[in-house]
Structure 1
Amino acid sequence: MTAPLRAGVIGLGMMGRHHARVLRGLDGVELVAVADAAGDRMSAAQGVPVVGSVDELLEFGIDMAVIATPTATHEELGLRLAAAGVHALIEKPVAVDATAAARLVDAFEAAGLVGAVGHIERYNAALQALRSRLDVGELGDVFQIATRRQGPFPHRVADVGVVKDLATHDIDATSWIARSAYASVSAQSCTKSGRPHEDLVSVSGRLEDGTVTSHLVNWLTPFKERVLVVTGVRGAFVADMLTADLTFHENGTVQTDWEQVSAFRGVAEGASTRFAIPKREPLVLEHEAFRDAVLGRRDDIVTLADGMRTVAVADQVIASARTGNTAYIRPTAAQGAAA
């Protein structure tokens, strides 16, 4: 029998606590210790040893670790794990900017280690089903991918704004679903919460395959919304990432002779279908993929290079909002984003 992988978690904030919960019950993995300088205030460790630093965590002989600390610390902690020969799953965004992310990519590649990024929406059942249906041509040519990610202000996030914290979900998911990298972005943002970072952004963009994109993201809406809409030749798919529901609204094939109704509804309104799809917790699926990548069984994780490309686009979104100009994504930053 193969010994379980020895795992650790760095950071016991909201996401870190969820990572610890999943790792405690993951087959083939043993959570041996967690690290947080502030201790375990929410009793997330459940009897697992709690230490105050990554160096103390490494003394437990871990094979892999999750970094769930503020974004500004990701590079330093990731490089420390790479130097110690430890595989890492780093929460998104992978780093503060594309330059820092590139250093992580280089370090893990040089060490021959698995590095993954916690872009959890890739493991959302609705998005996985949507991507599979697009791959077999159920929608025909895709015209547009639009997302809305809105909700109340999260007091836990202090070191980045909505672009890095929230919009990176939609940037990654859009490019992944379309299998195409971003070519350009144009953004407007504002800050209404009194903090130094933006809390609302509206982004228009275009992928390299010509697909038009739109992302509305904010921390100023008194309800939570996580929606992705793909419009194409045969209709539109709507993925609700909160419920993992996927609905298809097809273009109608029946002509409406009643002129007033036709003018109101449009000539292309057809039937709507909500699909029955299996739903498992995305974080569990993310950890299974990371575990299996460490064991060499599969390679469908969100790689550090994927995370770097997403941050590179986010950097350009921020630059566009600051300057008012369209930002064009450098080809070197975009290559491979559609893998």
Structure 2
Amino acid sequence: MSAATTGRPLRAGLIGLGMMGRHHARNLQALDGVELVAVADAYGDPHGAAPGYEILADAEALVAAGIDYAVIAVPTAFHRDVALTFAEAGIHCLVEKPLAFDITEAEEITAAFEAAGLVGAVGYIERYNPALQEMRRRLADGQLGELYQITTRRQGAFPARIADVGVVKDLATHDLDLAAWVAHSPFEEVAAFSTRRSGREDEDMVSVSGRLASGTITNHLVNWLSPFKERVTVVTGEKGALVGDTVSADLTFYANGAAPTNVWESMASFRGVSEGDMVRYALTRTEPLATEHQAFREAVNGDPSNIVTMREGLATVRAVEAVLTSAREGRVVRPDAVVVDPSASGDARTAPTTAGTGAP
């Protein structure tokens, strides 16, 4: 029985009070219909995000506090153990992205929550940006007609908070998720190049090309090496292009104009485009993280229509591993062909396949 049925607020717990966890704490404390009853972090509360709360040690202590759902904001390497503790206790969970460190862990988490009939979601905050929410609605309504290409640019300076993963698992995972989401189509294959320029063990720059099952092609530029911050998504289709800037939460439509093609007969089937009208839409700019928390609250209360499911999060983990495999091995990789090699301590490899064997 949901809290909405009983009339009482949902009892929420939060584990992880780091750079992202502090924002979850703020939103949980302000969320209508929810009471943040307990927080946990083995290293305390470095940002003072939960004044007045006892800082519990672990997930087991949150379970003992009697919570209805938990938000997991610990480092990615700990997602599996923490999420499975909550699944075993029958507690719904919102897990910060990515769902898990590798495919095996993501599959294990997803299976546990589905088997228990629990609400499980992944915190892909970009999906809740007003610009991308409106973009997806307009694409679903057919504003661009057939989709040709999705391009994203996610660039900025290195965040000192990241110590356990590279730029692919930290940032590119957003773009792989949102490209499949706005197009309503999963990735079919990817090709990637990455590099390390900052002296860290993991990659800090990546260029990815992909193709969705729908036939739409994608391009993603992601790095921690730019002295400016850029978060741009461009979707090009037969009727024009939509450009979403998630830093400013702006969405702009560039319509195709008519371009006469006075060419010889053999070229008559080609019709070019020219510059048409441009419209920047007026959007209500709500905080994406607040919208994400509202969506998860509604899911726990019975309406899961606006969450990123763990099954979707698993698909993105597969796409991420395909990108890393492609960059490492120098070839096109299909996400559905990536498996885990038990002899390689959880490292991803690709199963033999006749598809995607060309150089990226």
Aligned residues: 325
Deviation at 1:253, TM superposition (A): 3.0
Report 1:1-339 matches (<5 A). Answer: 2-253=7-258, 268-330=274-336
**TM-score between both structures, scaled by the size of structure 2:** 0.87
Deviation at residue 271 of structure 1 after TM alignment = 2.0
Q: Which amino acid aligns with 1:283?
A: L
Number of the residue aligned with 2:353: none
CA distance in 1, matches of 2:47, 2:186: 40
CA distance in 1, matches of 2:47, 2:141: 46
d(CA) in 2 for partners of 1:17, 1:301: 21
- Give deviations 1:193-252, integer Å, cap 9, x for gaps: 111110000000100111010000000001110000001111111000111100011112
Whole-Å Cα distance in 2 between the matches of residues 299 and 125 of structure 1? 17
The residue identity in structure 1 corresponding to 2:159 is P
1:11 to partner: Cα distance = 0.5
Q: Do the aligned residues in 2 keep the contact of 1:152 with 1:219 (CA within 8 Å)?
A: yes
Question: Structure 1: which 5+ runs fail to align?
Answer: 258-265, 334-339
Q: CA deviation at 1:140?
A: 1.3
Change in Cα spacing, 1:255 to 1:273, as seen in structure 2 (3 Å) is farther
SS in structure 1 of the partner of residue 181 of structure 2: helix
Would the alpha carbon gap of residues 273 and 256 (structure 1) be closer, same or farther in structure 2, given more than 3 Å must change? farther
Superimposed CA distance per residue, residues 293-328 of structure 1 (whole angstroms, 9 cap, x where no aligned partner): 111134321011111100100000000000100002
How far the C-alpha of 1:331 sits from its partner, in A, is 7.7
Deviations 1:39-97 (A, max 9, x none): 11211102222112222222210111111011000001000110111111000011011
Please tell me the residue identity of whatever aligns with 1:54. A
Identity %, equivalent residues = 58
Query: Does the 8 Å contact 1:32/1:49 carry over to 2?
Result: no
Structure 2: segments with no counterpart, 5+ residues: 1-5, 263-271, 340-360
TM-score by length of 1: 0.93
CA contact (8 A) 1:230 1:236 kept: yes
Q: By how many angstroms is 1:255 displaced?
A: 6.4
